[in-house]
Amino acid sequence: MDTSQDKPEPAPSKPKQVALYVTCLADLMRPSVAQASLELLQRAGCEVTVPAQQTCCGQPAYNNGDFSGAARIAQQLIENFEHFDYVVLPSGSCAGMLKEHYPKILEGHWLERANSFADRVYELTTFLVDICSYQPAKQLSAKAVAYHDSCAGLRELGIKAQPRSLLARAGIKVQELAQAEVCCGFGGTFCAKMPAISGAMADQKIQDAQDTGAETLIGGDLGCLLALAGRASRTNKDIQFRHIAEVLIGDSTTPPIAKNEAPDGAA
């Protein structure tokens, strides 16, 4: 007797409920990164919300010793984001602040909430690879690219293979830097406090990228990319800079960072 008709159909899988944390630099300096991140998460099958109450993560205050001020910001951010399944950021630096440093500056029940919250915080490329197993669309560009590993993402969160995996899945070959794990010199307020040293480190990173033959240096942290692009512009270095989210969605119309127009005269 055929009883297959009596078997209940499997319930459809529920989309992952994701809060996109835009970050200050994307909001103020490069909104295309936030838009690209949103599109990537949606393509990966996530239901994405961009909470309107989000503010700075508190990292500048924390890095300059204002731990009480950073703690107040942390509490506000946790309250606004902790009810989502996941919190995703296109920045290893800000993600590291939420995951690694909030538990260091909060106490009591706030520490418990910070630890629970940290378990749901992911940098964008890590989330797409480790949680979503995302397959990006193939990109047709044959231009050579190199990849910059930011210090916070690499050393705090172990982000190394994930961005390269996504680029490979998109058909983009990465030319590896000779000193891929060396700091670019940005370092948040370090570049303001030690401009000469910071500039020299940026020059070395830019030269390293150019030595690979790459036309574009890709990264996952806007702070590094903005600092490097600004330095390259001031020293007349012919290399482009883009965030990995922009590359993975095939954004060819937004000008490279620190450029006034897109390549080939695109708007």
pLDDT the model gives residue 260: 72
Three-state helix/strand/coil letters over 204-229: HHHHHHHHCCCCEEEECCHHHHHHHH
Distance in angstroms (rounded) separating the CA atoms of residues 228 and 65: 26
Q: What is the pLDDT along the chain (267 residues), one digit of tens a residue?
A: 455 556 665 556 789 999 999 999 999 999 999 999 999 999 999 999 999 999 999 999 999 999 999 999 999 999 999 999 999 999 999 999 999 999 999 999 999 999 999 999 999 999 999 999 999 998 866 578 999 999 999 999 999 999 999 999 999 999 999 999 999 888 878 877 888 998 899 999 999 999 999 999 999 999 999 999 999 999 999 999 999 999 999 998 999 999 876 555 443
**Torsions phi, psi for 240 (to 5 deg):** -100, 160
Asked if 206 contacts 248 with a C-beta cutoff of 8 angstroms, the reply is: no
| CATH class for the region spanning 136-265 | alpha beta
Distance in angstroms (rounded) separating the CA atoms of residues 81 and 50: 10
Asked if 90 contacts 37 with a C-beta cutoff of 8 angstroms, the reply is: yes
In sequence order, the 6+-apart residues with CB closer than 8 A to the CB of 223 are: 25, 91, 93, 150, 186, 188
**Residue type present at position 48:** V
pLDDT the model gives residue 9: 59
Asked if 198 contacts 230 with a C-beta cutoff of 8 angstroms, the reply is: no
pLDDT the model gives residue 54: 93
Domain boundaries, the chain: 17-129, 136-265
Asked if 92 contacts 23 with a C-beta cutoff of 8 angstroms, the reply is: no
Tokens standing for residue 52: 């309107």
pLDDT the model gives residue 186: 86
